[in-house]
Amino acid sequence: MSEIPAIELRKINKSFGPVHANKDIDLVVKKGSIHGIIGENGAGKSTLMSILYGFYHADDGDIIIKGKKVTIADSKAAIGMGIGMVHQHFMLVDNFSVLENVVLGAEDSALLAGGLSRARTELKRLEEEYELRVDPEALIQDLPVGLQQRVEILKALYRSAEVLILDEPTGVLTPAEADHLFKILDVLKNQGKTVLLITHKLREIMAVTDTVSVMRRGEMVATRETGNTSMEELAELMVGRSVLLRVDKEPAQPEAPVMEVENLTVTDSRGVQVVKDVSLSVRAGEIVGIAGVSGNGQSELLETLSGIRRATSGTLKIQGESIDLGSSTLDAADMRRKNMGHVPEDRHRMGLINSFTEYENSILGYHRDPAYSRGLLMDLGAIKKNAVAEIEKYDIRPPNPMLKTANFSGGNQQKIVLAREIERDPEVLLIGQPTRGVDIGAIEFIHRRIVELRDAGKGILLVSVELDEIRALSDRVLVMFDGKIVGERGSNADEGELGLLMAGVEDNRMTAEGGVQ
């Protein structure tokens, strides 16, 4: 047991213009341990790791690796010092094989053949040693994300990484895949590697780490032995006050259905069926949650219902009207006129125009509403007045309607979208990933608004990949897998059961095999 830490950071500082992203960060990572770093989005975790991996340079402070003070000029230098990184978004070439990806950038010589055969032997050894099985000849594009991530880990090990940094590694994984990843991390640890796990999910920290450090607004606020702390304590440290992990709500009082979908099938541009024969209904005064790992048709379902995407076939009943979605030409504006609001999954790509001001974004999709226009012209007075009112009601900060939305934080951007859609008083609200990339304080606020809307007798269809969120908010939970609805549960659904459904284990098989352990 060596007492020299694998990595030690002393008084690291980093500023981007006016933003002090890292303030006097001290961190000691023991060799052969799994060390978690947790914090809200924007707490400075990624900046700190980027400094360690050579993407950024600290303004001041020392980096000490294995007892020696170093400067890390770039990622190549970091790799040379035995630091490997698995990025949140994989850095893989889709149409290369696993082997080619592993070798890429470490080819040894101008001719590939020799390097490749050496790499194949080495890869085989690594696979055996760390139980990281993956076919070296498979193309990346044919592998599920879980295996792609394994390739990223292999890449780092191939470059003799002693310290592995994983940035939000479970964001794209099913619960089962995540569990498998944690097993891999355990094996790595037992083989003497050091793992730095960046995440904002408390559960993961509790499940795998030995030590956990909490960051808040650029500062390292605490380091704890994982065994001596609790989720509640960590959550409190992350936000600086205690937070309700549950949403307070009364049982739903559902009334008549406000939206019914029958036999909806959607085919994407490649001709692949992404939504398969989905039927569901949403009643007034209830929140219907759709759980599922992202990429199982939820996005397409929302986009079709909101008029953005065309369906192949299916019927939508809304406001007493039955619409044949296979032949309708209704666009998003038409659906809004039918009192359907839509908070899209991706606010940057769809929900906001980030180069526009807050007030311009506050009417996106409603700009033809007579309340905000006079003939051909926009009624800027009315638009700004409405924007100011929404800013006040939703506590959007900074309270400046003239600011471009790009300059708001994630949580405030989401509030701008939410305010726009809720304040138009829709009968049905489609919501995708309401709290993705949003800090805990704003999550609480957003969840409260959604429940208030439900209590006002509106129907809500909620899509989220965060199981906790689905369970906290929904009155009924539908699970989507491979374009189909594979199961329905009540508001107190068992998490393990939902997880299995999300992973494609069929409802009947689950009961046949004696349920969940």
Partner 1 sequence: MSGGQLPRWVDLGLIPFLNLSAAFLVSGLVVILIGENPLDAVKVLLWGSLGYAEGFGFTLFYATNFIFTGLAVAVAFHAGLFNIGGEGQAYVGGLGVAFACLALDQYVPWYVTLPFAILGSAAMGAAWAFIPAWLQAKRGSHVVITTIMFNYISFSFMVYLLGNVLKKPGSMQNETRTFEDGGRLPFLNDVFPSFGFGYAPVNLSLFVALAACVAVWFLIWRTKLGYEIRSFGANATAAVYAGISPVRIIVVTMLISGGLAGMMAINEIMGSQHRLLIDFVTGYGFVGIAVALMGRAHPVGIILAAVLFGMLYQGGAELSFEMPNITRDMIIVIQGLVILFAGALEHMFRPAIVRFFTPSQALAAKEA
Q: Please name the helix (run of DSSP H) or strand (run of DSSP E) that holds residue 280, with its range, or none.
A: strand 273-283
Q: Are 41 and 435 in contact (CB under 8 A)?
A: no
Site residues (CB under 8 A) for partner 1, limited to 31-70:
none
Which of these ranges, 124-132, 209-217, 230-238, 372-380, lies near partner 1 under the rule CB under 8 A?
372-380
Q: Are 92 and 149 in contact (CB under 8 A)?
A: no
Q: How far is the CB of 353 from partner 1 (least distance, A)?
A: 5
Which residue lies nearer to partner 1 by CB, 44 or 285?
44
Which residue lies nearer to partner 1 by CB, 225 or 331?
331
Q: Phi/psi at 275 (nearest 5 deg)?
A: -125, 125
Q: Are 204 and 179 in contact (CB under 8 A)?
A: no
Which of these ranges, 169-177, 250-258, 270-278, 301-309, lies near partner 1 under the rule CB under 8 A?
301-309
Q: Are 476 and 286 in contact (CB under 8 A)?
A: yes
Q: Are 415 and 445 in contact (CB under 8 A)?
A: yes
Query: Could you tell me how many residues of this chain bind partner 1 (CB under 8 A)?
Result: 35
Q: How far is the CB of 112 from partner 1 (least distance, A)?
A: 37
402 sits near partner 1 (criterion: CB under 8 A): no
Q: Are 485 and 296 in contact (CB under 8 A)?
A: no
380 sits near partner 1 (criterion: CB under 8 A): yes
Which residue lies nearer to partner 1 by CB, 216 or 342?
342
Q: How far is the CB of 439 from partner 1 (least distance, A)?
A: 18
Torsion angle, alpha carbons of 445, 450, 454, 457, to 10: 100
Which of these ranges, 16-24, 34-42, 154-162, 288-296, lies near partner 1 under the rule CB under 8 A?
16-24
Helices (H), 394-439: 410-422
d(CA 389, CA 372): 14
d(CA 40, CA 216): 7
350 sits near partner 1 (criterion: CB under 8 A): yes
d(CA 165, CA 35): 10
Largest CA distance in the chain: 77
Interacting residues of 76 by C-beta distance below 8 A, sequence separation 6+: 54
Which residue lies nearer to partner 1 by CB, 291 or 325?
325
Q: How far is the CB of 47 from partner 1 (least distance, A)?
A: 10
- The residue from 46, 298, 299, 306 that contacts partner 1 (CB under 8 A) is 306
382 sits near partner 1 (criterion: CB under 8 A): no
Which of these ranges, 166-174, 374-382, 388-396, 437-445, lies near partner 1 under the rule CB under 8 A?
374-382
Q: How many other CB atoms sit within 10 Å of the CB of residue 321?
A: 8
- The residue from 94, 135, 225, 334 that contacts partner 1 (CB under 8 A) is 334
376 sits near partner 1 (criterion: CB under 8 A): yes
Which of these ranges, 22-30, 260-268, 371-379, 465-473, lies near partner 1 under the rule CB under 8 A?
371-379
- The residue from 2, 141, 160, 355 that contacts partner 1 (CB under 8 A) is 355
Per residue in 171-184, is it b (16+ CB within 10 Å) or e — as a string? bbbbbbbbebbbeb
Which of these ranges, 26-34, 218-226, 267-275, 356-364, lies near partner 1 under the rule CB under 8 A?
356-364
Q: How far is the CB of 321 from partner 1 (least distance, A)?
A: 18
Work out the burial of residue 462: count CB atoms within 10 Å of its CB; fewer than 13 is exposed, 13-18 middle, 19 or more buried: buried
- The residue from 28, 77, 207, 378 that contacts partner 1 (CB under 8 A) is 378
Which residues are near partner 1 by CB under 8 A?
16-18, 306-308, 331-336, 342, 344, 349-356, 360, 364-365, 367-368, 373, 376-378, 380, 404, 406-407
